[in-house]
Amino acid sequence: MLKQRVITALILVALLLPTLWVRNPWPFVVLTLVFISAAAWEWGRLNGQAQALSWIGGAVVAIGGMLAVAGSWQFGDSRALWWACAAVWVIGGAITLRIGPAGWARLPSGLRWMIGLGLLWVGWWALAQARIVGVNFLLSALCIVFAADIAAYFGGRAFGRRKLAPSISPGKTWEGVWSGMLGVLALALFWMVLDSRIATDSASVFSQLKQRYGAVPMAFAVLLLTGLSVVGDLFESLVKRAAGAKDSSRLLPGHGGVLDRIDALLPVLPCAMALASL
């Protein structure tokens, strides 16, 4: 299993890194659209859709992405979209986690399918727009999720006592959540120091938030984004539990599916874009 994970991770890095560092953002945009379309296919299968409809869902997300690219939408043009998506994740995420896997399974499968396709498309568009803003901005937003996950893992193992959502993800604890938040705050401080000393193509999301709102509001915004990464992770776990599935698919050997790798990014990226758009 470990060997599979390492090989798959190396292949993904080899595919993504060249597109990330070239000056033109469109190779990265197109490649990530392929991945998000695969996630849309997984979503259909997890939510009771037939194989044909699952493929159609992937095609719908891909076509929607191509139309957005062809329309040359810009950062500011999507401001209302970012805030609408942020509201959906904050309010809808709280409701969904409250009703749990059983409540999610009782919703009409068509409604669940369409909700997921919309969230996947907006999450991808936020990823694409973050890349257009700049590599430093994009990486800092991605690392919110990575740092939160790593800090939560070690903090939860060391101090975890109180279960966060035992019916959804028994391994997660409140102590892990607090550890994740502290880890992201430390990351933000470190990244802002780097921004002040190293010339980059763009300011990080942390520096942008600090410049716009000040240090204390920036810290609260970072904590909000960290909390939303937990919501995204729990949401996908809830959907898998409702479907009786361990992984979203086997597309990524050793890692599960694409959804398993991007679940926490789906709320964080649009919400980071919303906060940076003010």
Burial class (CB in 10 A: 0-12, 13-18, 19+), 257: buried
The pLDDT score that the predictor gives to residue 69 is 83
Which residues fall within 8 angstroms of residue 262, CB to CB, at 6 or more apart?
Answer: 35, 36, 39, 123
pLDDT band at 14 (very low <50, low <70, confident <90, very high): confident
The pLDDT score that the predictor gives to residue 256 is 84
* 203 has pLDDT over 90: yes
Could you give the C-alpha distances from 134 to 25, 204, 220, in angstroms and in order?
A: 9, 9, 23
* 206 has pLDDT over 80: yes
pLDDT band at 24 (very low <50, low <70, confident <90, very high): confident
Regarding pTM above 0.85, the answer is yes
Which residues fall within 8 angstroms of residue 177, CB to CB, at 6 or more apart?
Answer: 152, 164, 227, 230
pLDDT more than 90, % of the chain: 75
CA distance 58 to 257: 14
Measured in residues, the chain has a length of 278
Looking at 22-26, 193-197, 217-221, which range is the least confident one? 22-26
Q: What is the DSSP string of 39-82?
A: HHHHHHHHTT--HHHHHHHHHHHHHHHHHHHHTT--TGGGHHHH
Which residues fall within 8 angstroms of residue 104, CB to CB, at 6 or more apart?
Answer: 96, 112, 238, 239, 242
pLDDT band at 268 (very low <50, low <70, confident <90, very high): very high
What angle in degrees, to the nearest 10, is found between the helix axes of 205-213 and 174-197? Answer: 90
Question: 160 in the Ramachandran plot: left (φ > 0), alpha (ψ -120 to 50) or beta?
Answer: beta
CA distance 133 to 82: 15
**Residue in this structure with the two tokens 């190396």, named with its chain if needed:** 10
E-strand ranges in 156-197 read: 163-165, 169-173
How far apart are the two ends of the chain, measured CA to CA in Å?
A: 44
CA distance 63 to 43: 17
Could you give the C-alpha distances from 231 to 5, 16, 29, 142, 245, in angstroms and in order?
A: 25, 26, 25, 16, 19
**Predicted confidence (pLDDT) per residue in 138-166, tens digit:** 999 999 999 999 999 999 999 989 999 99
pLDDT more than 70, % of the chain: 97
More confident residue, 45 or 76: 45
Looking at 1-15, 94-108, 180-194, 235-249, which range is the least confident one? 1-15
The pLDDT score that the predictor gives to residue 75 is 45
The pLDDT score that the predictor gives to residue 74 is 53
The pLDDT score that the predictor gives to residue 39 is 96
Per-residue pLDDT, averaged over 254-264, amounts to 89
Question: 72 in the Ramachandran plot: left (φ > 0), alpha (ψ -120 to 50) or beta?
Answer: left
For the chain, domain boundaries: 2-277
The pLDDT score that the predictor gives to residue 53 is 92
Which residues fall within 8 angstroms of residue 250, CB to CB, at 6 or more apart?
Answer: 256, 257
What angle in degrees, to the nearest 10, is found between the helix axes of 215-243 and 26-46? Answer: 40
CA distance 221 to 143: 15
SS3 171: strand
Residue 4, Cα to own-chain centre: how many angstroms?
23
**Predicted confidence (pLDDT) per residue in 56-79, tens digit:** 999 999 999 998 888 765 544 688
SS3 172: strand
| Mean of per-residue pLDDT scores for the chain | 91
The pLDDT score that the predictor gives to residue 127 is 95
